[in-house]
C-alpha cells in the first residue's frame, strides 16, 4: 500500500464547504450514526410521505440537501460547476425509485437522453447513468432472468425495455459520453447482465462507452468478469465495468434464507474486500479491453488501485480508469484524488424529495455506526473544524 496517505488532507477534502456547511455535515453524520434514530426516522418519513404530511422541508433541510444536488438538473448546476473547479466531475443521477408505470419509464429514459445530450457540451459531466428499474418493472427483470415465459403483454413491455436501453446506449456512443448502468438485486440482475452484455457488444465497438456494474459482495462475480472478458476478446468488442461492493446485502441474505437457496453474498466483509480488490486488479491488468470505474468509499481499496496504476505505469488521467463516490460522502477521497490529477466523478442525485426517499434511507442506513464509515466522516469533519479554528487564531 502507498506510504503516503494523502486522503487525510482535510483542507483539500472540504475546500468547498463553508463553516456552516461543515457544522451541518457534522451534525447530520452525528445524528445518523445513531442507528435507532435512523430506524425511527425511516418509519416516520415513510409514513409521513404516504400520508401526504408536509415533511418535505424537514427532509430537505437535513438529509436531502446533504446527499442530493437538488430537485431537478438545473438545481444541481452550481454544485457541478463548483466541484469541477476542484477537478471533480459529476454524474447526474435521477434517483427516483419505486415507480412502475410505463409513463415513468419513458420519462426516465427521456431524462437520461437529455443528460447525455447535455453532457456532450458540458465538460464537467463526462458520464451519465441510469438504474435498470428506472427503465422497467422489477418483476419483469426477475421473470426474464428466471427464464419463465412471458405473456403477450409482458413481452411487449420487455420489448419496450430493450428499446429504451438501445436508445440511450446508441446516443451515448454518438455523443461519446460514457454510460453507467447501475446494478440491482441479484434476482433482477441476470436479465440486466444479459441485456447490458448485448449493448456492450453492439455499442462498445471502438472503446468502452456502455458500462455494466459488478457487485463484488457476490462471490460469483470474478468468474462472471473472466467469462465476459473471454467473450469480448473472442468477439472483438470492449467492456466497461463499474465495480462496487453492493448495496443490498441484508435483502439478499434475507431472501436467500426465506426461499432456501445459498446466499450469493461473500461469507464475510474481508472476503468481499478481497473480491473487490481482485476485480480491480484483473481489470487494470486487461485495460486493453476493459475500462474501470471504481465506485467506492473504501480508502484501502482506493490506495490499492493507486498502487496498481503506479506499478503498471498507467497515467493518472488515463480515461479508462475512473474513481467514483456519492455526493455527500467521502469528499476526502474524491477531492484529494482530483487534487493529484486522477479522474474522479461524484454521483449527484436529484429528484423530488419524496421520490428520492428510498435512496436517502439507504445512505442514512449505510452511515450508521454499525455500518462503519460514519466514524471516519465525523473524525475528518472534526479535524477540519479544528484546523480552521487554529488557522484563524494564528
Ligand atoms: C459511485 C458509486 C456507485 C454505486 N453504484 C451502485 C450500484 O449500481 N449498485 C449497488 O448495489 N451499489 C452501488 N453503490 C453502493 C456500493 O455498493 C456500496 O454499498 C457502498 O459504496 C459501500 O461500499 P464501499 O466500497 O464504499 O466500502 P465499505 O464501506 O468498506 O464496504 C461496505 C460494503 O461491504 C459489504 N459488506 C459489509 N459487510 C459484509 C459482510 N458481513 N459480508 C460480506 N460483505 C459485506 C457490503 O457490500 C457493504 O455495503 C455505489 C457506490 C458508489 C460510490
What are the tens digits of pLDDT across the range 56-111?
787 888 889 999 999 999 999 999 999 999 999 999 999 888 889 999 999 999 99
Interval between CA 244 and ligand 1 midpoint (Å): 6
Q: How far apart are CA 169 and CA 180, in angstroms?
A: 10
- Positive or negative, the CA dihedral 309, 314, 317, 321 is negative
Q: What is the pLDDT of residues 169-194, one digit of tens each?
A: 999 999 999 999 999 999 999 999 99
| Nearest atom of ligand 1 to the alpha carbon of 372 | 29
Exposure of 162 in the CB half-sphere (CA atoms within 13 A): 13
Q: Do residues 133 and 188 touch, judged by C-beta distance below 8 A?
A: yes
What are the cell numbers at 77?
448546476
Average pLDDT over residues 11-15: 97
Residue of higher predicted confidence among 370 and 57: 57
Strands (E), the chain: 89-94, 127-130, 178-181, 210-215, 239-244, 290-295, 321-326, 344-350
pLDDT tier at 38 (50, 70, 90 boundaries)? confident
Q: How far apart are CA 6 and CA 48, in angstroms?
A: 43
Q: For the whole model, what pTM was predicted?
A: 0.95
Q: What is the pLDDT of residues 112-153, one digit of tens each?
A: 999 999 998 899 999 999 999 999 999 999 999 999 999 999
pLDDT at 3 over 90: no
pLDDT at 1 over 70: no
Ligand 1, atom 16, residue with closest C-alpha = 246
Structure confidence at residue 371 (pLDDT): 54
Residues with CB under 6 A from ligand 1: 182-183, 213, 215, 217, 244-249, 265-266, 268-269, 272, 295-298, 324-326, 347, 366, 372-373
Interval between CA 390 and ligand 1 midpoint (Å): 36
- DSSP class of residue 207? S
Interval between CA 168 and ligand 1 midpoint (Å): 26
Grid coordinates 434514530 are at which residue?
37
Closest CA to 252 of 266, 239, 238, 241: 266
Interval between CA 393 and ligand 1 midpoint (Å): 40
Q: What is the DSSP string of 129-170?
A: EE-HHHHS-HHHHHHHHTTPPPPHHHHHHHHHHHHHHHHHHH
Ligand 1, atom 21, residue with closest C-alpha = 296
The answer for 52, left when phi > 0, alpha when psi is -120 to 50, beta otherwise, is left
Q: What is the pLDDT of residues 206-244, one digit of tens each?
A: 999 999 999 999 999 999 999 999 999 999 999 999 999
Q: Say which residues have a Cβ less than 8 Å from residue 314's Cβ, sequence separation at least 6.
A: 284, 287, 308, 321
What phi and psi values does residue 245 have, to the nearest 5 degrees? -80, -45
Partners of 347 in the beta sheet?
91, 326
Residue of higher predicted confidence among 39 and 140: 140
Structure confidence at residue 272 (pLDDT): 98
Residue of higher predicted confidence among 6 and 36: 6
Q: Do residues 273 and 267 touch, judged by C-beta distance below 8 A?
A: no
Q: Do residues 334 and 325 touch, judged by C-beta distance below 8 A?
A: yes
| Nearest atom of ligand 1 to the alpha carbon of 246 | 17
Secondary structure percentages of the chain, helix, strand, coil, to 5? 60, 10, 30
Q: How far apart are CA 90 and CA 348, in angstroms?
A: 6
Q: What is the pLDDT of residues 290-320, one digit of tens each?
A: 999 999 999 999 999 999 999 999 999 999 9
| Nearest atom of ligand 1 to the alpha carbon of 362 | 19
Q: Do residues 154 and 128 touch, judged by C-beta distance below 8 A?
A: no
Interval between CA 296 and ligand 1 midpoint (Å): 7
**What Rg do the C-alpha atoms of the chain give, in angstroms?**
21
Interval between CA 267 and ligand 1 midpoint (Å): 15
Structure confidence at residue 31 (pLDDT): 82
Amino acid at each position: 500500500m502507498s506510504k503516503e496517505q494523502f486522503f487525510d488532507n482535510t483542507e483539500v477534502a472540504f475546500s468547498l464547504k463553508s463553516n456552516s456547511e461543515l457544522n451541518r455535515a457534522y451534525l447530520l453524520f452525528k445524528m445518523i450514526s445513531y442507528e435507532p434514530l435512523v430506524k425511527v426516522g425511516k418509519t416516520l418519513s415513510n409514513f409521513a410521505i404516504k400520508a401526504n404530511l408536509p415533511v418535505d422541508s424537514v427532509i430537505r433541510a437535513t438529509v436531502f440537501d446533504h446527499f442530493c444536488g437538488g430537485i431537478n438538473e438545473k438545481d444541481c448546476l452550481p454544485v457541478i460547476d463548483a466541484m469541477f473547479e476542484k477537478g471533480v466531475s459529476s454524474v447526474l443521477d435521477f434517483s427516483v425509485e419505486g415507480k412502475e408505470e410505463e409513463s415513468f419509464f419513458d420519462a426516465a429514459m427521456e431524462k437520461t437522453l437529455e443528460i447525455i445530450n447535455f453532457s456532450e457540451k458540458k465538460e464537467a459531466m463526462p458520464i451519465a447513468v441510469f438504474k435498470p428499474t428506472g427503465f422497467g418493472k422489477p418483476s419483469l427483470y426477475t421473470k426474464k432472468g428466471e427464464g419463465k415465459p412471458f405473456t403477450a403483454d409482458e413481452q411487449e413491455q420487455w420489448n419496450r425495455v430493450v428499446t429504451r436501453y438501445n436508445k440511450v446506449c446508441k446516443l451515448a456512443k454518438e455523443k461519446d459520453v460514457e454510460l453507467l448502468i447501475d446494478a440491482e438485486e441479484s434476482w433482477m440482475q441476470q436479465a440486466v447482465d444479459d441485456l447490458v452484455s448485448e449493448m456492450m457488444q453492439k455499442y462498445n465497438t471502438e472503446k468502452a462507452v456502455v458500462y455494466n456494474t459488478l457487485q463484488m459482495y457476490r462471490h460469483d462475480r470474478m468468474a462472471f468478469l473472466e467469462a465476459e472478458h473471454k467473450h469480448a476478446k473472442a468477439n472483438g468488442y470492449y467492456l466497461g465495468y463499474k465495480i462496487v461492493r453492493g448495496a443490498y446485502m441484508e435483502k439478499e441474505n434475507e431472501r436467500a434464507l426465506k426461499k432456501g437457496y445459498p446466499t450469493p453474498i461473500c461469507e464475510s466483509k474481508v472476503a468481499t474486500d478481497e473480491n473487490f480488490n481482485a476485480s480491480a486488479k484483473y481489470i487494470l491488468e486487461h485495460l486493453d479491453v476493459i475500462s474501470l470505474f471504481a465506485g467506492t468509499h473504501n480508502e484501502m481499496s482506493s490506495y490499492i488501485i493507486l498502487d496498481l496504476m503506479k506499478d503498471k505505469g498507467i497515467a493518472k488521467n488515463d480515461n479508462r480508469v475512473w474513481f467514483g463516490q456519492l455526493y455527500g460522502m467521502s469528499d476526502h477521497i474524491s477531492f484529494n484524488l482530483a487534487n493529484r490529477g486522477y479522474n474522479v466523478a461524484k454521483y449527484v442525485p436529484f429528484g423530488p424529495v419524496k421520490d428520492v426517499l428510498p435512496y436517502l434511507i439507504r445512505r442514512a442506513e449505510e452511515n450508521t455506526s454499525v455500518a462503519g464509515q460514519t466514524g471516519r466522516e465525523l473524525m475528518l469533519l472534526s479535524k477540519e473544524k479544528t484546523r480552521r479554528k487554529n488557522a484563524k487564531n494564528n
